[in-house]
């Protein structure tokens, strides 16, 4: 038995992070000061595509990719631009956003509903 269930962890994450509605994310998709960050696994990107220009940072490697001292660091994630994290439905991006907040990243939000909500709202997708 686990002591902290995923629902509790999601609730704790959502209590301390900012969440952006899909409609608000759609309004800034072309903003050069915004970086969309896809935290899904590679196979998921291959199946459903990604938001155009999104940086792929799988949740399992996120700390290594965001940290400038990390072995997989992607400089755009330390650029000071607003990071909008997304996953399939919003759960993993909420947990990933909490991880970044815990790391001291202040310019990060989770996109509510993930890529599924994005697609439903007719957001652009690169296959």
pLDDT in single tens digits along all 127 residues of the chain:
888 899 999 999 999 999 999 999 999 999 999 999 999 999 999 999 999 999 999 999 999 999 999 999 999 999 999 999 999 999 999 999 999 999 999 999 999 999 999 999 999 999 8
Would 6 be classed as within a structural domain? Answer: no
Is 90 within a domain?
Answer: yes
pTM of the model: 0.96
The H-assigned helical ranges of 28-90 are 42-48, 62-66
Range of the domain at 89: 18-120
Radius of gyration of the chain (CA): 14
Do the domain assignments include residue 5?
A: no
Size (the chain), residues: 127
d(CA 5, CA 120): 29
Number of domains in the chain: 1
- CATH number for the domain spanning 102: value is 3.40.250.10
């Amino acid at each position: 038995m686990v002591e902290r269930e995923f629902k509790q962890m999601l609730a704790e994450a959502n209590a301390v992070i900012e969440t952006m509605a899909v409609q608000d994310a759609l309004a800034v998709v072309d903003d050069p000061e915004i970086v969309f960050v896809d935290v899904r696994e590679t196979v998921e990107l291959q199946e459903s595509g990604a938001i155009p220009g999104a940086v792929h940072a799988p949740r399992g490697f996120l700390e290594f990719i965001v940290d400038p001292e990390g072995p997989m660091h992607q400089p755009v994630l330390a650029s000071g631009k607003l990071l909008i994290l997304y996953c399939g439905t919003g759960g993993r991006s909420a947990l990933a956003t909490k991880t970044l907040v815990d790391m001291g990243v202040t310019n990060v939000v989770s996109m509510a509903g993930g890529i599924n909500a994005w697609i439903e709202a007719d957001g652009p997708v690169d296959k």
